[in-house]
Chain A
Amino acid sequence: MITAAETCDFVNNVVCKPENVNSLFEFGNFGSSDISRTEILILLAAIIPVVLMFFGLRKKSVVPGRLQSVIESIFTFVKDEIALGVIGRGGEKFTPYLISVFMFILVGNLFEVTPLINFPVTSRMALPLFLSLVTYVIFLFVGIRTEGIKYFTNLLWPPGVPVALKPLVGAIELVSVLLVRPFSLAVRLFANLVAGHVMLSLLLASAYFFVVQPGVGEYIISKAPVGLAWFTLGLAIYGFELIVSILQAYIFTLLSAVYIQTSLHPEH
């Protein structure tokens, strides 16, 4: 990011503007290949958790080491608190999916605060959209398998709704559950990570440019405190984004479980 910015001519151009906002989130391809940095990072978001899980669970020792403890805690947390805690009976079937979602999103999110990467792959719509569509398909499938075609009628007109309200409730439920739900699930994750990434980029890059103003020597001393202030704020937001990364992975997994639960146990 810094390198790219330094190509800007600050003396003649007051504002260095990229051609498109998307260029903030897009990177060039590796060498002459067709694979972009984002795609490599997406694959890394799969390889890293797989490697961590492999080394964490390989020994199967009764007295766990550090990595094994961490991986075991994550697994048992998702299994006990989300899969069994939220879905309840029958939740164990969805444990592999929920653990995968959590690990994948967590690592993808944590790229945001990983030095030298500083780019959450979940801030690209592809991942949140794909994962929320998988959740969508799962909860529709589970609903149809549990209740048959009645799933849709119960969904649109929950038992006990007066006949007069049925059109209104049906319309609301149709939009909120079948249309908006997958989209909101995806956008919640996506928007949080985009906002975090933009904020961090702004603060830390501002800090950099106020302290090291390329090409203008005397600028440094007068503006340096402003840069340091930006940097301090940037560091605080950095810690905040670390929490957001973990929290958003948890929220996505939790909501997936909640949606599956409503389909699996419609009586609740």
Chain B
Amino acid sequence: MMFYLDTFLAEAEESTSGVDLLLPATSELVAGVVAFGVVFFFVWKWALPALNETLDKRSSEIEGQIKEAENTKTEAEKSKQEYDALVSNADAEVQKIIDEGKQAAEKIKEDALSEARAEAEAIIEKAKSDSDAEKERVSSELKSEVADLSLEISQKVASSMSEADQKKLIDKFIKELN
């Protein structure tokens, strides 16, 4: 073999030999048929089915994963809702307990107040009745004392007067009484 340009130019002028290049050599044609046959048979019977199987497997796996992800998502959403519900229930419970506590405290306060009020009223009432009774007692005592004194005074006055004057006075009293 040689590589000089001259070589090719010289060969190009020899038209007969160049044509051989365009004619297939029988042995190479046979080799080509066998070789391509092998490739085609392999692709047809094994490679392409294998590829299709792989692609199917891949797409089904991806589909499965997408579904799984969706399931996980819905599950997560569900448990979040449950959690939220729990939390809000707990809040309500706490509020209820606080309210109940408040109400109980209020009631206790109310009861204590009303009891105290009632007690105070009772004390006041008792004090009032006591003072009234005392007043009554004092005034009746005073009245009887005044009567006694006035009797004593009138006896003293009567003893110092004449019978006529006594009669006059008695008449005057009777008159005044009337």
The answer to whether A binds B is yes
| A interface residue numbers (CB < 8 A to B) | 1, 4-5, 8, 15-18, 20-25, 34, 36, 38-39, 42-43, 45-47, 49-50, 53-54, 57-58, 60-62, 64, 68, 71-72, 75-76, 95-97, 99-100, 103-104, 124-127, 129-131, 134, 190, 194, 198, 201-202, 205-206, 209
Beta-carbon contact of A15 and B24 below 8 Å = no
Contact of A16 among B7, B18, B33, B50 (CB under 8 A): B7
List A contacts of B53 (CB < 8 A): 60
Beta-carbon contact of A57 and B50 below 8 Å = yes
The digit string for B50-63, where 1 denotes a CB below 8 A from any CB of A, is 11011101100100
- Interface of B, helix, strand, loop or mixed by DSSP: helix
Contact of A75 among B27, B36, B51, B57 (CB under 8 A): B51
Beta-carbon contact of B6 and A17 below 8 Å = yes
Q: Complex Cα distance A126/B26, Å?
A: 8
Beta-carbon contact of B3 and A127 below 8 Å = no
- Interface of A, helix, strand, loop or mixed by DSSP: helix
List 17 additional contacts besides A16-B4, A62-B57; criterion CB under 8 Å: A15-B7, A17-B11, A18-B1, A18-B7, A20-B20, A21-B8, A21-B12, A21-B17, A39-B28, A42-B32, A53-B47, A60-B54, A76-B55, A99-B43, A125-B23, A126-B29, A205-B3
Contact of A97 among B8, B38, B40 (CB under 8 A): B40
List B contacts of A96 (CB < 8 A): 40, 43-44, 48
Interface centre among B3, B25, B33, B42 (most CB of A within 10 A): B3
Beta-carbon contact of B39 and A18 below 8 Å = no
B157 at the interface (CB under 8 A from A): no
Chain B residue nearest in CB terms to A22 = B20
List A contacts of B38 (CB < 8 A): 46-47, 50
B177 at the interface (CB under 8 A from A): no
Within 8 A of A (CB), among B90-135: none
Beta-carbon contact of B6 and A39 below 8 Å = no
Contact of B24 among A45, A54, A126 (CB under 8 A): A126
When A and B form their complex, which 10 residue pairs have the shortest distance between CB atoms, in order from nearest?
A205-B3, A46-B35, A126-B24, A126-B28, A21-B11, A96-B44, A100-B40, A42-B31, A39-B31, A57-B50
